[in-house]
Chains A and B, each alone.
Chain A
Amino acid sequence: MQNPSMGLINYIAYVSYFSFIFAIIVTLLKISKYANTPLHLRWELYPVPSEKEHVHGGSYLERPEWWKTEIKEERGSELIDMLKEMIFIKRLYNNKRKQWYFSFLFHGGIYLLLIWFVFTFVGSVLELANIASGTLFMAFFYASLAFGYVGIFATFIGTVGLIGLRATDKRVSYLTAPIDYFNLAFISLILLSMIVSLFSDPYFNYARSFLAYLISGTGLILPFKQSFLPVTSYITVLLLCLFFLYLPFTKMTHFLGKFYTYHRVQWDSRPNMVAGKFDEKKDVLIRKNLSLTVPWDAPHSPKGKKWEEL
């Protein structure tokens, strides 16, 4: 018979597997929803960093008879702009500095925690491979300590700061719904739980070994034993599981939305014809759109007809 604490850690492990897989599946479904919307009319917004003329905000439309020219997409400058926005949240920095300080701490902290997770994951794999000592392991050990501590506190300060700003900034507080506070409060609760866990797990040893336990398939796939976690760590893991179950349904997945708003809308300036050649794939998609039936009811709307029959 399994001892009770062994049973509890297994339940927690199963919940962890479920919530993680659930989050991935729902997120993928959400991505497919946006990915499968019809090819829309062009609605780009300059500057478009992939365009050769982006330095002055320009486009290929500055060239006479642009359709006869090659339109090369400069992925390098697109990547630079993307990273500036992803890492530094440049637009917020330029347009709402007060909010940026906390938002940067919050998002930067999350990035650090993701790096912490990667280092801890590597540490877990090394532990599973019975090389939980030596220079390599210690390098990951100390790196995870640094990223973990800074990440936890930066995210926590950022979240609490964002709650405070939202509550006190009259320009946005009156438009804030209870759910907006709840989301931030939920994250700050997870962070608070992580901070409390640091007292019983200051070196992330339990975190690393629990991760190893998960990777080992609770010891069923790879030989590994983990019998218990401190209570505070149980609470943190459970809160994280709840968060994974909740996250895909919220606008906190705006990191996904951001991909589409930038790459598929604001930076999507590619014309149908490049260097004298019509894009055949687009032709198919356009035909498909034009064959849809108009549902609008105003007097001038040709309700029931196809868009191509306007």
Chain B
Amino acid sequence: MGGIMSEIIDPKKFSKESREPLIKIKLEDLIKLEDLKEEPPIKEPPTAWTERYDFTLDGHAAVGIPVPKNEEEKGALVEKFLKGLENDLSKEGNWTFAQQFKLSMDYCTKCGACEEACPIYVASGKKNIYSPLYRSEILRRIYRKHFTSAGKLFGSIVTGDIEETWQLITRLIELSYRCNICRRCAQACPIGIDNGLIAREIRKIASQELGIAAKELHENGTVLQLKVGSSTGMNPEGFKKIVKMMEEDIESKTGLKIKIPVDEKGADILLIHNAGEYLSWPENPEAYAIIFEKAGLSWTLSAEPIGYDSVNYGVWYDDIQLARVAKKHVEIARKLGVKRIVVGECGHATKALVVTAERLFTKENYIPRESVLPILADIVEKNKIDVDPQKNDFPVTLHDPCNIVRLSGIVEPQRKILRKIAPSFREMEPHGVWNYCCGGGSGFAIMHSYNFDQWKNKVAARMKVKQILDAFKKELNDGSFKYVCAPCSNCKGEIRDFISHYKLWEKFRINYGGLAELVVNAMSEIKNPYISKDEFH
């Protein structure tokens, strides 16, 4: 799959100062989307951006690091990065990931088995700078040169050529945002090296030492969440108003009068959704309210700041922010006196709170946490609600969020549900733990700065677009309504973006949505369709 490998950018060229990008994205290089007759062209970035910010990696910017004004600023970039790497190799600075990071720095044999597993590398037409091996090797060379005896003694014989210029640092940080951290590369590595982790560690060094991070993840992400309660900017009053609107919405759509519990002390479950759902896809939390009420569960939402937003962008770039947000989630649950936290349909939030943060909690402040998907499967399987699968009489395919499947091992619950409620369900290939990222992983779904959307839709999401078109191959042009089920808020955000970019709704009537919406759409007692076949949202 994919084109012939393009011109190779070696590490020497990578470190060389230039105002021209190392590579340019061209449509003819990318993997072919044969079912699309045409797609939007690639636009050059305006000079107003390229003069001020570093676009020299690939003509795109996710972070948009300002070009340093003088030698002092240039030197500081290099010096701070090296200090950050030193911290990242220390027990104090990186107890969180020290073992896996050190192993991944020491043992790569550069066999290249990781490359073909990377959807970004393959979709780009095998541009070498996007290879998981390349990005990691740049960091490894810096590491060997400055932090190993062999590198200090024997120089480039051991390290390979490397010159840590400011330009290398800015490109490397930008390059760490050309990886979805889906960790397919780590699945492919015979030694178990984790080049996805290394991308995250580069982001972490940039954030925790240099104070450089994608704006959407840090300033408008974790910082805003910790300050006002949600990365959407929603405050507790705003949240309470939305809950009222949701109750009205449920009644008008389904005729059901449901009182959504908020801050119910002593409930069994604290359900935390990604707050983006309330603003972009309220039908998903509304569906859960309907299902949980009908199944008779004891549950509540929280109106405490941070308690109504499960997101934890720290998992993509910063351990300090990761720990702060996770700690708040648990504190709020303990204050409410619930028995467990259930994370709604959001992949990274599930992995962050249920899996990654597990070892941040001591016995005193521990509270069990789980994904909503096994609970939903239990409700459907045990017939706690009546469903009529014929109500979902349209083709359905399932997108597997990386954070739910490969990184949390939750594979079957969503399938059990779909097999029961969607007669035209079909898998994408590959799927389950071998899936491809939607292209929005590691924060890309919410990152829209500069021209990053263009890169994301053209390169990062391309493999998923191909998979979706292939999954609906038979019905692609028959005008039927098609549904991509994505039980993850960020994946939905990304899928919405690329459906619009490639006009998949207009051309093929491909829509998308969560899993709970499909369940409610199949519920026997709800007469009107819950999922509209006539509008793209």
Q: Do A and B bind each other?
A: yes
**A273 interface neighbour in B327, B368, B371, Cβ under 8 Å:** B368
Query: Which residues on the A side are within 8 Å of B93 (C-beta)?
Result: 294-296
Most chain A CB atoms below 10 A, which of B87, B104, B158, B411: B411
Tell yes or no: A231 within 8 A of B by CB.
no
A309 to B357 Cα, complex, angstroms = 16
Query: Which residues on the A side are within 8 Å of B137 (C-beta)?
Result: 175
Please state if B355 and A96 are interface contacts (CB–CB under 8 Å): no
A-B complex: 5 closest residue pairs judged by Cβ atoms = A59-B409, A261-B192, A57-B433, A177-B160, A257-B107
22 residue pairs of the A-B complex, CB under 8 angstroms, read A37-B102, A38-B99, A40-B95, A43-B356, A57-B433, A62-B410, A64-B370, A64-B378, A95-B117, A171-B115, A177-B159, A178-B158, A180-B110, A251-B106, A251-B108, A254-B109, A257-B106, A261-B191, A264-B99, A280-B363, A302-B320, A310-B323
A60 to B354 Cα, complex, angstroms = 12
Minimum CB distance partner of B321 in chain A: A300
**A290 interface neighbour in B99, B208, B362, Cβ under 8 Å:** B362
Tell yes or no: B306 within 8 A of A by CB.
no
Binds A, one of B54-62, B180-188, B466-474: B180-188
A157 to B466 Cα, complex, angstroms = 41
Please state if A48 and B103 are interface contacts (CB–CB under 8 Å): no
Tell yes or no: B245 within 8 A of A by CB.
no
Q: A37-B99, A62-B374, A273-B366 are in contact. Are A42 and B208 (CB under 8 A)?
A: no
Please state if A95 and B110 are interface contacts (CB–CB under 8 Å): no
Tell yes or no: A11 within 8 A of B by CB.
no
Tell yes or no: A92 within 8 A of B by CB.
yes
Binds A, one of B26-34, B281-289, B400-408: B400-408
Please state if B117 and A297 are interface contacts (CB–CB under 8 Å): no
**B207 interface neighbour in A177, A295, A298, Cβ under 8 Å:** A298
Within 8 A of A (CB), among B58-85: 80, 83-84
A91 to B434 Cα, complex, angstroms = 13
CB distance from B66 to the nearest CB of A (A): 16
Tell yes or no: B8 within 8 A of A by CB.
yes
Query: Which residues on the A side are within 8 Å of B116 (C-beta)?
Result: 95-96
What 1/0 flags go to A74-89 for Cβ under 8 Å of B?
0000000000010001
**A57 interface neighbour in B5, B133, B432, Cβ under 8 Å:** B432
* Interface magnitude class on chain A: 35 or more
Binds B, one of A202-210, A237-245, A281-289: A281-289
Tell yes or no: A94 within 8 A of B by CB.
yes
Q: A56-B411, A58-B409, A178-B157 are in contact. Are A294 and B108 (CB under 8 A)?
A: no
**A41 interface neighbour in B97, B131, B363, B412, Cβ under 8 Å:** B97
Tell yes or no: B91 within 8 A of A by CB.
yes
Within 8 A of A (CB), among B383-398: none
Query: Which residues on the A side are within 8 Å of B179 (C-beta)?
Result: none
Please state if B96 and A40 are interface contacts (CB–CB under 8 Å): yes
Please state if A41 and B191 are interface contacts (CB–CB under 8 Å): no
Tell yes or no: A28 within 8 A of B by CB.
no
* A-B contacts at CB below 8 angstroms, number: 275
Query: Which residues on the A side are within 8 Å of B378 (C-beta)?
Result: 64
**B97 interface neighbour in A40, A269, A307, Cβ under 8 Å:** A40
Tell yes or no: B421 within 8 A of A by CB.
no
Q: A39-B359, A99-B113, A251-B109 are in contact. Are A265 and B320 (CB under 8 A)?
A: no
Query: Which residues on the A side are within 8 Å of B91 (C-beta)?
Result: 37-38, 292
CB distance from B309 to the nearest CB of A (A): 18
Tell yes or no: A293 within 8 A of B by CB.
yes
Given pairs A51-B409, A66-B368, A251-B108, 8 additional interface contacts (CB within 8 A): A44-B409, A46-B433, A47-B433, A64-B375, A171-B112, A178-B157, A266-B192, A292-B95
Query: Which residues on the B side are within 8 Å of A251 (C-beta)?
Result: 106-109
Q: A40-B95, A290-B362 are in contact. Are A300 and B211 (CB under 8 A)?
A: yes
A273 to B150 Cα, complex, angstroms = 43
Tell yes or no: B10 within 8 A of A by CB.
yes
CB distance from B193 to the nearest CB of A (A): 7
Tell yes or no: B194 within 8 A of A by CB.
yes
CB distance from B404 to the nearest CB of A (A): 9
CB distance from A305 to the nearest CB of B (A): 10
Query: Which residues on the B side are within 8 Å of A178 (C-beta)?
Result: 156-158
**B211 interface neighbour in A42, A53, A177, A298, Cβ under 8 Å:** A298
Please state if A40 and B408 are interface contacts (CB–CB under 8 Å): no
Tell yes or no: B259 within 8 A of A by CB.
no
Please state if A286 and B410 are interface contacts (CB–CB under 8 Å): no
A43 to B187 Cα, complex, angstroms = 12
What 1/0 flags go to B444-480 for Cβ under 8 Å of A?
0000000000000000000000000000000000000
Tell yes or no: B358 within 8 A of A by CB.
yes
Q: A96-B112, A174-B10, A254-B109 are in contact. Are A46 and B191 (CB under 8 A)?
A: no
Minimum CB distance partner of A99 in chain B: B111
**B407 interface neighbour in A46, A95, A258, Cβ under 8 Å:** A46
Please state if B209 and A296 are interface contacts (CB–CB under 8 Å): yes
A283 to B112 Cα, complex, angstroms = 39
What 1/0 flags go to A82-117 for Cβ under 8 Å of B?
000100011110111001000100000000000000
A91 to B327 Cα, complex, angstroms = 37
Please state if A95 and B103 are interface contacts (CB–CB under 8 Å): no
CB distance from B96 to the nearest CB of A (A): 5
Please state if A44 and B355 are interface contacts (CB–CB under 8 Å): yes
Please state if A40 and B98 are interface contacts (CB–CB under 8 Å): yes
CB distance from A166 to the nearest CB of B (A): 8
Please state if B87 and A296 are interface contacts (CB–CB under 8 Å): yes
A299 to B98 Cα, complex, angstroms = 23
Tell yes or no: A249 within 8 A of B by CB.
yes
A99 to B97 Cα, complex, angstroms = 30
Please state if B411 and A62 are interface contacts (CB–CB under 8 Å): yes
Please state if B211 and A299 are interface contacts (CB–CB under 8 Å): yes
Query: Which residues on the B side are within 8 Å of A290 (C-beta)?
Result: 360, 362
Tell yes or no: A133 within 8 A of B by CB.
no
Tell yes or no: B340 within 8 A of A by CB.
yes
Query: Which residues on the B side are within 8 Å of A169 (C-beta)?
Result: 112
A249 to B149 Cα, complex, angstroms = 10
What 1/0 flags go to B169-199 for Cβ under 8 Å of A?
0000000000000010011111111100100
Minimum CB distance partner of B212 in chain A: A298
Tell yes or no: A14 within 8 A of B by CB.
no
Q: A40-B99, A43-B100, A301-B320 are in contact. Are A177 and B112 (CB under 8 A)?
A: no
Tell yes or no: A221 within 8 A of B by CB.
no
Minimum CB distance partner of A165 in chain B: B111
Please state if A295 and B412 are interface contacts (CB–CB under 8 Å): no
Please state if A56 and B361 are interface contacts (CB–CB under 8 Å): no
A40 to B357 Cα, complex, angstroms = 10
Minimum CB distance partner of A262 in chain B: B192
CB distance from A80 to the nearest CB of B (A): 16
A139 to B434 Cα, complex, angstroms = 47
Query: Which residues on the B side are within 8 Å of A180 (C-beta)?
Result: 109-110
A46 to B413 Cα, complex, angstroms = 15
Please state if A172 and B112 are interface contacts (CB–CB under 8 Å): yes
Please state if A45 and B107 are interface contacts (CB–CB under 8 Å): no
